[in-house]
Amino acid sequence: MTIELDQNELWLLSFYRTSEIGGALFFGRLARTLQPGANQRDMSRHFADEAQHAWLWTSCIERLGAHPLSLTDAYQDQYVAAAGLPVNLMEVLALTQVFEGRVINQYARHQRAPGLHPFVGETLERIVDDERWHLEWVRRALREMEPAYGKERIDETVRRFREADEAVYRQTVHEHEQRIAHLTDVLARTRGEEPGHGR
């Protein structure tokens, strides 16, 4: 089988897969502890989606003639050091809202890369639909928690995790940015465009 990925794209798709596995493990453990109700149901679906996304990236990489790289750290592994461990479900959901927003933005950016392979584009499209629902249910759950925690406290928690997310993104995902930029230039050259055209 012909390999249709360069090493930067293989790294990036493997990075996505590793992060989806991390999310599945986290939300699966959490779903097991929740009391029966809407949050338990939605968290269970969220966990199932993340596991399915990891499989979709595995399948995509294999269809492109490669095997996923074994990466040790997922993106979300860096959050605890930056913002502290969430102490209750509200904080978990605040963190999730910030993280899912980051994921959607990154996937949308990748979707705009010139010369995107159809297998990658198809996988991104399927996953982004699920990620939009993740944001919807988490925002709904946080609104429903306002009587218990107060809107100001929830908003402040979201701000705290957003600041942590920015720090993590700057400090630990610099390689990710370099690889995306390199990938965009490589794909542009395959289409006879000037590097930087799609950014």
pLDDT in tens, 50-103: 999 999 999 999 999 999 999 876 666 676 677 777 899 999 999 999 989 988
Two tokens, residue 22: 């991390």
Which amino acid appears at position 192 of this protein? Answer: G
Would you state the torsion angle of the CA atoms of residues 84, 177, 197, 189, taken in this order, to the nearest 10 degrees?
-150
Q: Going from the N-terminus, what domains does the chain have, and what CATH number goes with each?
A: 7-190 (1.20.1260.10)
Q: How many CB atoms lie within 10 A of CB 64?
A: 18
Query: What is the model's pTM?
Result: 0.83
Residue (of 157, 128, 131) closest to 145 by Cα position? 157
